[in-house]
Amino acid sequence: MVLTSTSSRSAAYLQRSCRTLFAARSYSTNVVDCDVVIVGGGPAGLALASALGSSSVASKKISVTLVEGGDLHKIKSWNPAPDNFSNRVVSLTNTSQQFLKDTGAWSYLDQGRTCGVEQMQIWDGLSDARIEFFAEDLGPEIRKVGMSRLTENFNLQRGLLKHIENLPSVTLLDKTRVQSIRKGDSTDGAWPIVQLDNNQTLRARLLVGADGFNSPVRAYAQIPSFGWSYDTQAIVATMIHPPRGAYEGPNTTAYQRFLATGPIAFLPLSPCISSLVWSTKPALAKALLSCDPEVLSAMINASFRLPHISLKYLNSRILEEHAAGHPITPAKIREEIQWREKVHGFDQHSIYSSANAQSQLGVASMDSETLPPLITSIQPASPASFPLRFNHAETYLGEDSNARVVLVGDAAHTIHPLAGQGLNLGLADVECLSKCIENSLSSGGDIGSYTALLPYAQERYLANHILMAAVDKLHKIYTTELEPVVWARSTGVEILNELDTVKAALMMSAGAQTGPSLDASSAGWTMAGNAVQTLASASKTIGIMGNVVGNVLGAAVKNLAASQDQDTPDYPGILPTLQEAQTVIAQLTDEAQDKRESIVTLLSHINKLKEDIDAISNKLLEKIPLSTACHDAQGELWSASIESALIRLSLLKAQTEREFYNHSIPSTEAGKSTTKTSSKTVNQALEMGYGHLRAQEADMTKEAHQLDRQLLEYTNMLELVEGGKKGAYKQIVDDWAEVKQGTDECLKDLRRLGWTGD
């Protein structure tokens, strides 16, 4: 490629923070050296730029360049009417909020366009098993701030952009696309070279891929990723509804119902506006979006209220009409819904009825808050849909010849939105990566090097994977209705267990602010353990089912054989086929049984290990009285400093005493010389006195020696007190966390083994 003049306006702009390398050997153009090049101006990329640009260590030592193809100015000047909400909404956990507060970006968000979630209602579309969360249950601090905070993606992005505006070490290049990424000359360290479509070329010490699911950076670094697309489309829309009544709580409750087609979620934004995230089958999503918006709002109301069987019927009606080329009309769907309600015996005044959508006045019934308010309309142009998938890069770091590349956010992992964790995972990545970069900078490290980035990958990969796997499993468990096995499971007792995992998944992030880190990690641990347990029981059920089917078939074959004996050749040739089928089924059953057994043994091993580790952990915690409670630690700190102050005092005292004794000894010597000139009797008296003094002197020297020894001891003790503070305990806790991580990794492998058997 021949690029001649590159002294464009934006090149000059870049040189403010990056230095130009004119003596490039193999390039026909200017190459601008940059420390961090972030590709992608989504929330994760912007959050990283704002974190690095506001860090006192990083902002002094490195420049950050963010490249984005879209127009960031549009987002920065986004200024919607107060009652107009964008359809893409994010739930920020308290951990994520704290991170944004720490970097200083949080204050740039329009707080009026955020809504704290004080309650969550989650229930099953098939069995109506319900689970409720109340913010106050999570402690007084959570009660004040809510479990998480909902806001529009645009509000977050705009806030980050406004924050970045004030950060001199960050350069934004928007409306600029990455044309290609190639590896630089090996003589030049093989740093990644990013060719932009405005004729600029950047040479990156560290290239960050924050460029979403189809990450070009990931492709450049040849990092494989594994995953699958769910046969699911997410419909988003902004919903308008009347405010909650005078006797009801405010609109701060999030609702989610697990339907057989996917979860539907109601996320409050303001007293009478909420956001929809509805995961459903692609055909249904397409049909719904092509209908009148009134059909969509009627179906949203129905989807939170009607039983599964009716929803299934309504869905099939919508699909039929869509296939016939004339989308269903609002009047028609309303009529259908009302008929279904009558069939189910819904009272006109019950909260399950859609009839009172227009008139929600008066005293609300007791259970009115177990369901979201009825939607009256959809904000125009807000409905949209996008496909859902699961995807996880095999590593977050480019290796060997593709070094100096790191992935964050959706470029590293894509997740089903049912737990609202996708963006939070991305922000957690960014927080960890920026800390990792700061650490490396403060000990002179090269932030692009594998060593410097390894802690990031180690900390985030497993944490992300566990949550992603849990969310994926939830999706799969709740979207099956055909296989009788899973049907039995989802309506049976185990549903409670599964809802526990939802709870764990949501709590882990919600409560992260208050609980010590050890607790958070053990929550993840328990969740992983549950996952394996579920696998084992699932394969067990399959094994039993196989046996049943085998037996039924066996009986059928026997019957056939009997009828053949009676010489009725009605089914010639069917017998051998059936017998073959029977043996195959028997084999399969055996295999399933074997697999189950191996999983069960592995599980028992893991459980034992888990128990052992828990026991050790308890013992450790017992042995080390430095408890997790802040007060204890502070108390110890105080007592340690008091102790050291006392020792210091004793030291001083000892020193002065020694000083004193050393000087007093020669003065007794002087007393001896005066005795010679005195009279005899006085002389005798003095001699006696001198003897006393000698004895005293001996005592004093002894004492001085003793004091010297004490002095050394005190110095030693001071050393011990000061040296000990840094933390044998912390070391143990760190090592302990690492042991846990390792064991978690084993669990991950095991789960993979389980999935292949599924």
Partner 1 sequence: MNPVRMQFIRDKLHEIAADEDTSTSLQPDQVLNGLDVLDVGCGGGLLTESLARMNARTTGIDASKSNISIATLHAQADPRLRDSGNINYLHTSAETLLDQPKRYDVVCSMEVLEHVDNPSQFLATCAELVKPGGHLFLSTISRTPLAYALTILMTEEILQNVSRGTHTYSKFVKPSELVQFFREYRSSSTGPNSSSALKPWITTPASANYIPRTEAELRGLIYNPLAARWHLAPRDAWGALECNYIFWVRKPKN
3-state secondary structure of 662: helix
If one asks whether residue 458 binds partner 1 (CB under 8 A), the answer comes out as yes
Distance (Å, whole) CA 659 – CA 670: 18
3-state secondary structure of 603: helix
Residue 468 tokens, joined: 């992603």
If one asks whether residue 728 binds partner 1 (CB under 8 A), the answer comes out as yes
Pick from 71, 165, 335, 722: which binds partner 1 (CB under 8 A)?
722
Segment near partner 1 (CB under 8 A), from 83-91, 412-420, 450-458, 668-676? 450-458
Segment near partner 1 (CB under 8 A), from 125-133, 434-442, 682-690, 692-700? 434-442
387 vs 724, beta carbon nearer partner 1: 724
Q: Which amino acid is at 34?
A: C
Min separation Cβ 61 and partner 1, Å:
8
Segment near partner 1 (CB under 8 A), from 170-178, 295-303, 453-461, 509-517? 453-461
For the chain, count helices (H), then strands (E): 21, 20
> Which residues ranging from 54 to 73 are in contact with partner 1 (CB under 8 A)?
57
Pick from 6, 35, 202, 251: which binds partner 1 (CB under 8 A)?
35
Min separation Cβ 34 and partner 1, Å:
9
Min separation Cβ 458 and partner 1, Å:
6
Distance (Å, whole) CA 94 – CA 148: 6
463 in Cβ contact with 527 (< 8 Å): no
CB atoms under 10 Å from CB of 390, counted, come to 19
361 vs 720, beta carbon nearer partner 1: 720
3-state secondary structure of 224: coil
Pick from 8, 716, 749, 755: which binds partner 1 (CB under 8 A)?
716
Distance (Å, whole) CA 500 – CA 498: 5
If one asks whether residue 191 binds partner 1 (CB under 8 A), the answer comes out as yes
Residue in the structure block whose two tokens are 């450049």: 220
If one asks whether residue 451 binds partner 1 (CB under 8 A), the answer comes out as yes
The CA angle 291-294-295, to the nearest 5 degrees, is: 50
CB atoms under 10 Å from CB of 264, counted, come to 24
If one asks whether residue 36 binds partner 1 (CB under 8 A), the answer comes out as no
If one asks whether residue 189 binds partner 1 (CB under 8 A), the answer comes out as yes
Annotate each residue in 204-223 with x if it binds partner 1 (CB under 8 A) or - if it does not, as one string.
Answer: -x------------------
Pick from 70, 271, 445, 515: which binds partner 1 (CB under 8 A)?
445
664 vs 716, beta carbon nearer partner 1: 716
Min separation Cβ 444 and partner 1, Å:
3
If one asks whether residue 441 binds partner 1 (CB under 8 A), the answer comes out as yes
CA distances 425 to 212, 218, 422, 503, Å, are 13, 18, 5, 17
Min separation Cβ 716 and partner 1, Å:
6
Q: Which of 321, 422, 435, 328 is nearest to 89 (CA)?
A: 422
Pick from 719, 749, 752, 758: which binds partner 1 (CB under 8 A)?
719
Four-point Cα dihedral 545, 551, 556, 559, nearest 10:
-170
Pick from 102, 110, 188, 597: which binds partner 1 (CB under 8 A)?
188
Long-range contacts of 604-608 (CB under 8 A, 24+ apart): 606/529, 606/532, 606/746, 606/747, 606/750, 607/529
274 in Cβ contact with 239 (< 8 Å): yes
Chain residues that interact with partner 1, rule: CB under 8 A: 19, 21, 33, 35, 57, 187-189, 191, 203, 205, 439-446, 451-452, 454-455, 458, 712, 715-716, 719-720, 722-724, 726-728, 731, 734-735, 738-739, 741-742
